[in-house]
Amino acid sequence: MEDVIDRLRELNEPVPVPLELPDEDLLVEIQEQILIHLPFELREYLLKASDVVYGHLEPVTVCDPQSHTYLPDVAARAWDAGVPRYLVPLCEDGGRYYCVAEDGEVLLWEDGELDEEGTWDSLWSWVEDVWLADA
C-alpha cells in the first residue's frame, strides 16, 4: 500500500485549488450521511491519498461537498443507477462505477450489472491496474 501511495504522490498533478485530506471525524460524518460503513481500504485511501489528482479518472473525495467527486453525491447517483446498495462507489467513469465491497474487493458496475471480469482483490490493486495504468 505505501508503495502505491508513494507512486500516486509522485504522479500527483498540480491543480489551482489542491484537494484536502479528511480526518477520522469527517469519515464518521460521511458514513452517517450514506448510511453504510466505509470498507477499511477505502477509509485508508480517503485518509492518505484522496488529495491526489492524476489522469482522467477521479476517485471519490469527502472534503468538499461542492465537488463532483463528493462521495455522498456519487453514491446517490450510483445507487440511483442501480448499483447495489451494499457497494460503496470508488470512482465514476462515464456511467460506469468502480465500487468497493465490504470485504475490500473492487467491482465494476457497467450497463446495469456487475462485470464478471471487472474485479480486483483490493482497492490498491485497482489503483495499480486501472488508475495508474489509465493515463
**What's the pLDDT at 116?**
86
User: Residue range 18-40: average pLDDT?
Assistant: 97
Nearest to 37 by CA among 120, 122, 101: 101
Mean pLDDT taken over the chain: 95
**Within 40-105, where are the H helices?**
40-49, 71-80
Q: Which domain holds residue 49?
A: 2-134
52: domain CATH number? 3.40.1580.10
Percent residues over pLDDT 70 in the chain: 99
36-92: per-residue pLDDT in tens? 999 999 999 999 999 999 999 999 999 999 999 999 999 999 999 999 999 999 999
Q: What is the CA radius of gyration of the chain?
A: 14
| Element of type H or E holding 85 | none
pTM, two decimals, is 0.94
Number of folded domains that form the chain: 1
Separation between Cα atoms, residue 7 and residue 1, nearest integer Å = 10
β-pairing, 106-110 vs 88-93, is unpaired
